[in-house]
């Protein structure tokens, strides 16, 4: 798949991980959407949907691209930052796993519904906004998407016609109520944003802080085990993260797969086979097949032990929107977290 490098100013700004939400009048709070981060570059002829690592996804999400072009035909070219999420027939947001069949589709019209939730505006017309504070960019976003409802299913039912594939992401200057909703509705978490901060394209910044309500993150696949019992293709994925120039082993992920997913993983891993372990130090895993560490997966887990190993990990999905070399540990092991 062809990849491009977006101008550095338009590469996604990344949030730092925080155990507590920053509070005060200088912050706003938004849902941490459980989908695929997208930079949308749009004019009246075409919308291109770029992932973090430069894959273009308009073919997989044609209704979103069409919706953006419909808006741009009336309001002019724009560069938007946001999240592609899966939704059900009523428009309610689904988890990341519901996007899997669409993200990797190579032909035909993919099944399932999706919408683009826009939460930042990087440029309108010939004006680049990345140096402006969040407050100014938010005002530009709301003006550009004027008439489109917010990210919730109930609000977005007012978005009619082809523009129904785009929503304005919600934001709140009050953390408490949004946090209550997040816990009640099972959101992945919240993002706190400094309202005076510019857009730091391509950088991880303390001006955006993500507060997760469940333990999950991306890991790199460095191998797999053989299937046992009635399972086919593979048993468990052997995953890790980059630390100090080395790939550290985090554990074996053996649940969360269906048959189609196992077959797809086996197909992707087959050409990556290698004789030596990519992990340092080499884990003692009987009958492991090692692979070149280029495949990224998202995993949910109970906790990370003092030894840096995952407890009760569950496979969530493949992440072809993130580079393996960028995957580091976001959550400290329990002992280091307690002593921090």
Residue 226 and residue 332 in one domain:
yes
Least confident of 77-81, 108-112, 125-129, 299-303: 108-112
CATH of the domain at 150: 3.30.470.30
Residue 97 and residue 142 in one domain:
yes
Side-chain-side CA neighbours of 194 within 13 Å: the count stands at: 16
2: in domain? no
Q: What is the mean pLDDT of the chain?
A: 88
Instruction: Please list the helix, strand and coil fractions of the chain in percent, rounded to the nearest 5, in that order.
Output: 25, 35, 45
Entry field: residues in the chain: 340
- Rounded CA-CA distance 263/6 in Å is 33
Where does residue 284 rank: exposed (0-12), middle (13-18), buried (19+ CB within 10 A)?
Answer: exposed
Q: Given 32, 57, 193, 322, which residue is catalytic?
A: 32
Q: Where among 159, 192, 212 does a domain terminate?
A: 212
Classify each residue of 107-133 as buried b or exposed e, where b means 16 or more C-beta atoms within 10 Å of its C-beta. eeebeebbbbbbbbbbbbeeeebbebb
Residue 39 and residue 152 in one domain:
yes
Residues 130, 198: contact at Cβ < 8 Å?
Answer: yes
Quote the tokens at residue 319: 């992440």
Specify the pLDDT at position 107. Answer: 67
Q: What is the pLDDT of residues 17-71, one digit of tens each?
A: 887 899 999 999 999 999 999 999 999 999 999 998 888 999 999 999 999 999 9
Residue 173 and residue 268 in one domain:
no
Q: Where among 181, 212, 243 does a domain terminate?
A: 212
Task: Look at residue 202 and tell me whether its pLDDT is greater than 50.
Answer: yes
Average pLDDT in the 67-78 region?
95
Query: Where on the phi/psi map is residue 212: left (φ > 0), alpha (ψ -120 to 50), or beta?
Result: beta
Task: Look at residue 264 and tell me whether its pLDDT is greater than 50.
Answer: yes
Q: Where among 212, 232, 260 does a domain terminate?
A: 212
Task: Look at residue 335 and tell me whether its pLDDT is greater than 50.
Answer: no
Range of the domain at 244: 216-339
Where does residue 62 rank: exposed (0-12), middle (13-18), buried (19+ CB within 10 A)?
Answer: middle
Residue 45 and residue 180 in one domain:
yes
182: in domain? yes
1: in domain? no
311: in domain? yes
Cis peptide before 119 (omega within 30 of 0): no
Specify the pLDDT at position 2. Answer: 44
Specify the pLDDT at position 338. Answer: 39
Residue 127 and residue 32 in one domain:
yes
Specify the pLDDT at position 148. Answer: 72
Residue 230 and residue 248 in one domain:
yes
Q: pTM value?
A: 0.76
Which residue is it, tokens 């554990």? 251
- Rounded CA-CA distance 288/281 in Å is 15
Say whether 322 is catalytic: no
Q: What is the pLDDT of residues 155-179, one digit of tens each?
A: 444 455 556 899 999 999 999 989 9
What's the domain count of the chain? Answer: 2
Residue 152 and residue 188 in one domain:
yes
Residue 195 and residue 302 in one domain:
no
CATH of the domain at 232: 2.40.50.140
147: in domain? yes
Residue 20 and residue 113 in one domain:
yes
Specify the pLDDT at position 150. Answer: 54
282: in domain? yes
The residue among 182 and 154 whose pLDDT is bigger is 182
Average pLDDT in the 239-259 region?
95
Specify the pLDDT at position 153. Answer: 47
255: in domain? yes
Average pLDDT in the 199-205 region?
94
Residue 220 and residue 202 in one domain:
no
Task: Look at residue 313 and tell me whether its pLDDT is greater than 50.
Answer: yes
């Amino acid at each position: 798949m062809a990849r491009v490098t977006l101008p550095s100013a338009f590469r996604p700004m990344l949030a730092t991980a925080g155990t507590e939400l920053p509070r005060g009048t200088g912050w706003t709070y938004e849902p941490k959407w459980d989908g695929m981060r997208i930079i949308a570059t749009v004019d009246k002829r075409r919308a291109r949907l770029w992932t973090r690592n430069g894959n273009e996804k308009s073919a997989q999400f044609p209704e979103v691209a069409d919706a953006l072009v419909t808006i741009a035909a009336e309001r002019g070219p724009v560069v938007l930052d946001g999240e592609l999420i899966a939704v059900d027939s009523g428009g309610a947001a689904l988890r990341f796993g519901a996007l899997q069949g669409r993200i990797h589709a190579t032909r035909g019209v993919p099944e399932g519904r999706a919408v683009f939730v826009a939460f930042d505006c990087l440029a309108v017309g010939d004006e680049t906004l990345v140096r402006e504070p969040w407050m100014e960019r938010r005002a530009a976003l709301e003006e550009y998407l004027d008439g489109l409802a917010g990210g919730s299913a109930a609000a977005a039912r007012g978005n009619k016609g082809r523009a129904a594939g785009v929503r304005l992401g919600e934001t709140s200057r009050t953390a408490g109520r949004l946090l209550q909703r997040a816990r009640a509705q099972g959101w992945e978490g919240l993002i706190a944003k400094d309202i005076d901060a510019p857009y730091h394209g391509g950088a991880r910044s303390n001006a955006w802080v993500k507060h997760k309500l469940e333990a999950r993150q991306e890991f790199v696949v460095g191998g797999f085990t053989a299937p046992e019992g009635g399972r086919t293709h593979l048993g468990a994925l052997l995953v890790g993260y980059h630390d100090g120039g080395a790939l550290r082993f985090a554990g074996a992920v053996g649940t969360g797969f269906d048959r189609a997913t196992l077959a797809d993983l086996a197909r992707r891993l087959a050409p990556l086979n290698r004789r030596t372990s990519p992990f340092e130090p080499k884990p003692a895993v009987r009958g492991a097949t090692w692979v070149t560490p280029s495949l990224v997966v998202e995993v949910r887990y109970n906790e990370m032990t003092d030894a840096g190993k995952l407890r009760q990990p569950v496979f969530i999905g493949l992440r072809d929107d993130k580079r393996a070399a960028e995957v580091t540990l976001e959550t400290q092991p329990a002992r280091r977290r307690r002593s921090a």
